[in-house]
Structure 1
Amino acid sequence: MQLLMEPHFGIFGSNELDDFVVRYKPPSELMERMFHFTSESMKSLKAKANKDNVNNDVIISSFQALAALIWRAIVRAYELAPNEVTNCHLAINVRKRLDPPLPDDYFGNALSNIMTSTTAGDLLSQSLGLAGTLLNESIKKYTDGAVVSDDHWAEAPYFIDLSTFSDLRSVRFGSSPRFEIYSNEFKGLGRPVAVRSGNGNKFVGKVNTYPGCEGGGSVDFEICLLPQQMAILESDPEFMDFVSLAI
């Protein structure tokens, strides 16, 4: 598929740019907050998630524990009915999941999305460890076969309309705490003080992940919600108990 070499984008079934390009604008009332988790807080959260986990064959990672905590908190903020299905989407690096694996310095797009689903009732009525286990199992299942099965996009390419993401049921994680953002230095200006994102890729339930400014394994989460949902999130005791700073 020679996407960049096709001037009329005919491969998408249309010669008109406006037929498939949507000019997305985030909801005007959308709010965003930065929540900081220290390395000590993450260690405590990981320990709690694994203590709550009844499946001894599963070891929940620090990021899985954090994602589970945020998923549960946002679903509480959504105020979903117990029988409503909620989805948690994680961006995943597929370099080491292919057989043979791609090298670490492979420059192409080696990113995919995995979705974990359950009902709001099951997610919230049970422990943090259960949510972490669900995410852990979804990640483990995403092997070479799952990656290769995603090649159907090349047969029928399409663009995603971001306006469909604000379904008030889903949580979507983007970026990564492994990106060395704070190692950038622009023309002698020194180390960045803070990292933020623009508004072109934001919607209700979007969570951007960054390494913390002080390093050492700390993490910042930029969470986007509607005002009433953000108010619930900021007063959520389970969530805020592990937050070190909210901006």
Structure 2
Amino acid sequence: MVGAIPVNAQDDVLIPLAPMDATMDTLRVAILYIYPPPSSSTASYDLARLEQSFLSLVDEDYPLLIGKLDVNPQTGVASVRQTPEALEQGARGIRFEKDPASKQTAEDVLASLSWDFMPKVRGEDEIIAVKGTLLADGGMTVGVDINHILFDGEAMFTFMKTWSQHYNGLDKHERLVICHERHLLAGKGEGPKLEHSEFRLTAGKLLARAKDGTLAPKAMKKPPPTTQYLFHMSPANMAALKKAVNGASDPAAPGPSYSSTVDAITALFTVLISRARGHGQDVRISTALNGRKRLDPPLPDNYAGNAVFHTMSTHSKSDLQLESDGEDAVSLVTISKIARGIRASILERDNMYLRDAIAFVASQSDLSTVSENIQFFFGTGVAFTCWANLGMYDAEFEGTRPWYAFAPRVPCMDGFVMITEAMKGLDGLDVLVFLECAAMEKFKKLAANVPYLQDKEDKEDKGVP
């Protein structure tokens, strides 16, 4: 294993992760895969085979998942600690829960997105836990909960696709080749040359995870209740929104003259969320950026770590609600201005900037002090991440693609939006919004008056109650 460091006479080994990985401490990637009954009447899901293929997946392609997470309390450096006992156990030391006879169907699980289909809460140093469930209608769920220090979204989907290749019996030369070279994002020992307002340095984490797995601001003893709601955006509505937003753009205004579809969606949802919250303040928008192909040279295919960078754009309250806007109206000029600001912040994140961001993080004496510079959780900011075109639905078991490969119902989350490929094989994108309950009710009322969110092609309500 690259970078393995013996740390004591008992031959414990520390495998250092990248500084960019360490900034993801306290976060997790929790994905619930929901599979309908196999398309072939002669096929059926096999839990024993699922577990055995998981063991071979980890032992052969993901040995970094063996052991415990180790975060140095003085430096914040994150590593995987592998004891001789852990190495002897291999993948069998990872918790794999099984339920061979759930009374729920795939449709039931899709309606509830219950955490019951996820593994029990991970321990603080537990890297990954898995749960497989066979459903009453012949469907299957696979719940995976891994510390974000190890994987980002793309790394998770690559992991799941490789797992399906093991399950389906592909030989090693037919499977994906996984890159574990974390040193590629470790920096070169040079200090940063640019300012990095996307980061803030604080003594201690601002977010804390309770024993039940709930994440919330550390300062809040009892956070208000939150909920989540899923919007589907058809290709026709996305095209109409993009055309309208770019058509409303002021060609004389500074900055880029265009914005992408996702920029327009981000701007629209920022306006709606900010109005629903009713704070009347300036808003900071964070968008997660996948650096794999933006770096030069790009990271190798199937890089298994975190390549998440952040763009930041700040918009005044006057940007978000012009005087001509009615209470329920959404001005295309407003959305266009915000979308162009988002696009400008993305264009700034070129190879030089991203390399300098790595240098900034790596130069800190305590990596645990580095966090994203936005207050989205019960604050005024909004954080976005986009999982489109990352292979969310590529993990086929028994020749069947999942209906859903996304977050289960999250106990507590606010001010966070995920844009993903659409569930159940629909065209277009899904947008999952997490908000405080009262703000969500106002948000849905506002959204009901936005024509681009009224899906004429698919009337089915995809709200998550």
Is the TM value for this pair above 0.5? yes
> 1:170 maps to what in 2?
381
Structure showing greater radius of gyration is 2
TM-aligned CA deviation for residue 62 of structure 1: 0.8
More helix by share: 1
Deviations 1:157-187 (A, max 9, x none): 11659x964142111112411222223223x
Deviations 1:85-128 (A, max 9, x none): 21111011123332333345444422211111111222222521
Could you tell me which of 392, 413, 421 is aligned with 1:203? Answer: 413
Check whether the contact 2:417–2:433 (CA below 8 A) recurs between aligned residues. yes
> 1:185 maps to what in 2?
396
> 2:306 maps to what in 1?
109
1:153 aligns with 2:361: yes
Measure the CA separation in 2 of the matches of 1:102 and 1:13: 24
Could you tell me which of 243, 263, 267 is aligned with 1:68? Answer: 267
Give the counterpart letter for 1:46 in structure 2: K
Equivalent residue runs for 1:114-153 within 5 Å: 114-125=311-322, 126-150=333-357, 151-153=359-361
Give the counterpart letter for 1:129 in structure 2: S
Question: Structure 1's 13 and 138: CA in aligned 2 closer, same or farther, altered over 3 A?
Answer: closer
> 2:75 maps to what in 1?
12
- Identity of paired residues, percent? 22
Give the counterpart letter for 2:362 in structure 1: A
Measure the CA separation in 2 of the matches of 1:139 and 1:173: 13
> 2:257 maps to what in 1?
58
1:78 aligns with 2:277: yes
SS of residue matched to 2:368: coil
Give the counterpart letter for 1:154 in structure 2: A
> 1:97 maps to what in 2?
294
SS of residue matched to 1:242: helix
Give the counterpart letter for 1:170 in structure 2: G
Question: Structure 1's 242 and 234: CA in aligned 2 closer, same or farther, altered over 3 A?
Answer: same
Measure the CA separation in 2 of the matches of 1:9 and 1:239: 51
Could you tell me which of 209, 212, 220 is aligned with 1:23? Answer: 209
1:87 aligns with 2:284: yes
1:32 aligns with 2:228: yes
Which residues of structure 1 form unaligned runs of 5+? none
Give the counterpart letter for 2:440 in structure 1: M
1:46 aligns with 2:245: no
Measure the CA separation in 1 of the matches of 2:442 and 2:338: 20
Task: Give TM-score, length-normalised by structure 2.
Answer: 0.46
Could you tell me which of 234, 241, 247 is aligned with 2:451? Answer: 241
Question: Structure 1's 8 and 212: CA in aligned 2 closer, same or farther, altered over 3 A?
Answer: closer
Once the two structures are overlaid, the 10-residue window that deviates more, 204-213 or 97-106, is 97-106
TM-aligned CA deviation for residue 141 of structure 1: 1.0
Measure the CA separation in 1 of the matches of 2:363 and 2:301: 27
What is the alpha-carbon root mean square deviation over aligned residues? 3.3
SS of residue matched to 1:195: strand
Aligned residue pairs: how many?
242
Deviations 1:184-238 (A, max 9, x none): 223x272222333146695211112210135575111110111211111111157
TM-aligned CA deviation for residue 146 of structure 1: 1.7
Measure the CA separation in 2 of the matches of 1:98 and 1:45: 30
Give the counterpart letter for 1:192 in structure 2: P
Measure the CA separation in 2 of the matches of 1:214 and 1:141: 35
